[in-house]
Structure 1
């Protein structure tokens, strides 16, 4: 593979694995300003511009203000999660960071990898820090999901009720709830082989899948409530005009 193609491929790997984007900005063109303060930690204009560029690449936005608001909300939530990870004493070792770095780098030579970093205006230490932040967030959320296991109970009546709704949907009920449609998208393969005339699939065949789906949905709601609680307890200050950062 030619070096140019390799660099392009690695750029995509960087973006998809770490959700980062680099927007080269000359210091003379943009004075870095404080956009928000989250529990004493600042978010700057440069950081916000990078986040906006990332979202813009994944989604089409005509409304620049809406894009800015979404990007800022995402960054605030990230800061809150990282602060909570620190409070929970969750850590990521340098060896773990190096392992992820090695997996991303793959068979690339040090020279090509360094060229990639320079192309993205990113130092190796900055890249490692981004890996660490991602691992911290993932580890915190995984811990919270484990803690929720004992809190989430799925009753037989819930499974039966969901199954009856699923049967109606398979028979052509267009008023099915979105979660029924979502279940069908996830477990499409498990629903194959049903009687197309009756739209039937036995409860015994898919009850484990239904229970797993309902459990995951409840945990998602608990996770959302937990995040909303963290958000409500945080001290967040939005700088409407922006302040120059030192």
Structure 2
């Protein structure tokens, strides 16, 4: 039976590549992004692209009703969407922090909460974090809201793995280093990353399908460089 995969942040970068990898391997994919057009334009079979904003409560109902009506089961959930803010801390308002956390933290908690009733012991929730969210890693000025939000989902993953260890699903987090994406260009203009979006997507594809055999509640640092 073909597995059902949910991926957020699919309009560009790693998420865009991931959808194509899963589609090519004949999995069913629900691609969630504020801009659903890039995925729709690919016309991939087994892929449904939904326009979805992680910061809008009503959009979660669309996802819940889609799963309940069409799938009944979710095998893999990949939290890949992220909002970046690069701004000096004294200029970063409470609204700025709220905006970043709504997508990067609250979006992860709410979509997970909706998906869990449809998940099995063997299902896997993979959250894409950042090396900037890892305690003791190198930090960069201007990324206070972004990197602290990425730290929050690391701890959240450990907590959920503990809470669901008897029943499943498994929860793991990948803290990525520099990957050549539009978001990296926004954070570090002109920096050339050693890893392409497709290369990282291939790693995440394999890990999301097999990593929960070996890991639960773990943070894996997927980084060969700094940043």
Same fold (TM over 0.5): no
TM score, norm. by length of structure 1:
0.22
TM score, norm. by length of structure 2:
0.23
The higher-RCO structure (CA 8 Å, 6+ apart) is 1
Q: Flag the structure with higher strand content.
A: 2
- Who wins on radius of gyration, i.e. which is larger? 1
Q: Flag the structure with higher helix content.
A: 1
